[in-house]
Amino acid sequence: MKQTDAYRFPQARIVVFARVPQPGRVKTRLARGLGIIAATRAYRHMAELTISRLAAARLAPITVYCTPHTRSAFFHRWRSRYGVTLRQQHTGHLGRRMSMALATTLRQVEAAVVVGTDAPALGPSRVADALTQLHADADAAFVPCADGGYALVGTRAPRAALFRGVAWSTPRVMATTRTRLTVQGLSPAILDAVHDIDTAADWHRARRTRLLDPATNRSRSAPHSRGRIPSRRDARR
């Protein structure tokens, strides 16, 4: 039996964009409220939750597109523990990097989705919904964010035009993308929106609703995330 046969969507791939958790280089907006060290801990926790939940769900093989490099022990531990593939992110703005990751991945499989690591509400069930829509012939699949961006994008073919000329990290990202979809005559699946975590208020809301608990929205067989979850006490330090 092929290794991919153990997955629910063996002819798909899940691409996770992740960054080496260096203080001052991750979640800079979150750091304004929590502090640099607590924000870095928060990023590590969310990234670990993302990978552990997706790996436990066995939806599709996972490729982590890393920045600034793949050499970090942080990523190599994921490869050893969860069996993910590591690749270097392409250069350029976020849209180009996502577009290139999808184009590269879709040379080998029928569908692919790209997710980040800062939307714990985007659990495996929502990723499965997106893959189901793509396999049902949707041209693209999106999970919007409440702040106007999106937490997941998936396609069955390279769609470079969807990622050009977008004002990334602004509230207009999803609206601009919807317009592009219409202009190109594509039939997308737009799933329910989720909250991502950019600010201290976002973080504390996620804690209150238990989205950051290791057992939330994942198989109980997945290992727990290491380390302490940053709290309001960390923000006061």
Model pLDDT, residue 71: 96
Q: Which two tokens stand for residue 5?
A: 């046969």
pLDDT along the chain (237 residues), means of 10: 78 98 95 97 97 97 97 97 97 97 98 97 97 97 97 97 95 97 97 96 94 63 43 50
Residue 232 lies in a domain: no
CATH of the domain at 37: 3.90.550.10
Owning domain of residue 198: 3-212
Residue 80 lies in a domain: yes
Model pLDDT, residue 237: 47
- Counted residue by residue, the chain has a size of 237
Residue 31 lies in a domain: yes
Q: In this structure, are strands 111-115 and 150-155 parallel, antiparallel, or unpaired?
A: antiparallel
Residue 229 lies in a domain: no
Residue 25 lies in a domain: yes
User: In sequence order, what are the beta bridge partners of 115?
Assistant: 16, 152
Model pLDDT, residue 214: 80
Model pLDDT, residue 219: 37
Residue 143 lies in a domain: yes
**Side-chain half-sphere CA neighbours of 98 within 13 A:** 25
| Integer Cα distance of 72 and 63 in angstroms | 15
Please report the DSSP string for 68-129 in residue order: S-S--HHHHHHHHHH--EEEEPPSSSHHHHHHHHHHHHTTTSSEEEEE-SS-TTS-HHHHHH
User: Which residue shows structure tokens 């919807």?
Assistant: 178
Residue 234 lies in a domain: no
| Integer Cα distance of 194 and 144 in angstroms | 6
| Integer Cα distance of 138 and 156 in angstroms | 8
Residue 235 lies in a domain: no
- The total of structural domains in the chain comes to 1
